[in-house]
Amino acid sequence: MFIKSIFCTTKKHSYHWHNGIVLFRVIKGVIKVRVRAEDSYLKKDDIIIFNVGEIHQIESITEENIVSLTYIDALYCEKVIDNFDQIVFYCNSSKNGELHECKYNKLREYIDKLIINQNTDNNAYELLSYLTENFDYITCGIELKKFSKKICQRNTQLYKSVMLSDGEYKEYSLKEVASYIGVNYSYLRQDIVERYGHGYKWLKHIIMVENATKMILSTNIGITYIGEYCGFSDPKYMIKYFKKFFNCTPSEFRKLYKDNYIGECSIENLPVDRVNIFKIGEC
């Protein structure tokens, strides 16, 4: 199924990922979500998006909760959105919802419309188009403001050729990247921090750690080989970043979570008529 929306209650879902995007909205209660080593506490009407293949963990803080989950398969996204593999959604209203209230209210309207109209292709396309224009991390950054065409092209190329595991220049240092694109090194270093809230090394290594995490959870392949495969030149560097992002070593992470990355999940589906959705005001 390409598109699916459900209302449910949840207690805990250990580290996992999806082959599609998931729009996660809290209807009632407080939910703790951990994505890429950062914790967020989502309350009523808060929304977060889990990108394709993005590692995340969910845990209820309150005894009672209701959440809505809208899943859109990656194949459908790739079909209707050009270069979808070069898009990363940055959407977390618990972090920046007050700064972008109108954008998030509009997004809630699109989500509600998709659910009410039973996930029609037209509604899904409208939602994806709105997300691409307003919430793409690569072309809008943490300020969710579209960069100039030139900057969008530059940063998309950097993501494609440097950040991704199959990127042509994934081994490049930032100085080499600056030379490659013809930009002053100091300027590029500061520009990345200002646009994305993190430095070059953090952005690069969180992707490497995420790729390693998937292999650690879904295979029995040795940790050293996984580190090499995911781009770490020395096992100690993967250990360093695992401790930074997960407060444990890769081996400890496997022991803690491998048997639970699909399981350790408590979700109860709820019929729509048991859920009260309040209208969102216009901005």
pLDDT tens for 31-62 read 999 998 889 999 999 999 999 999 999 999 99
Give pLDDT, residue 121: 85
Residue 264 has pLDDT above 60, yes or no: no
Regarding predicted confidence, which is higher, 267 or 42?
42
Give pLDDT, residue 177: 92
Q: What own/partner pairs with CB < 8 Å and gap ≥ 24 does 200-208 have? A: 200/174, 201/174, 203/163, 204/162, 204/163, 205/241, 206/36, 206/37, 206/241, 206/245, 207/163, 207/164, 207/165, 208/165, 208/232, 208/238, 208/241
Map out the domains of the chain with their CATH numbers. 3-142 (2.60.120.10), 149-260 (1.10.10.60)
> pLDDT confidence of 274, banded at 50, 70, 90?
very low
pLDDT in tens, 215-239: 999 999 999 999 999 989 888 999 9
Give pLDDT, residue 137: 97
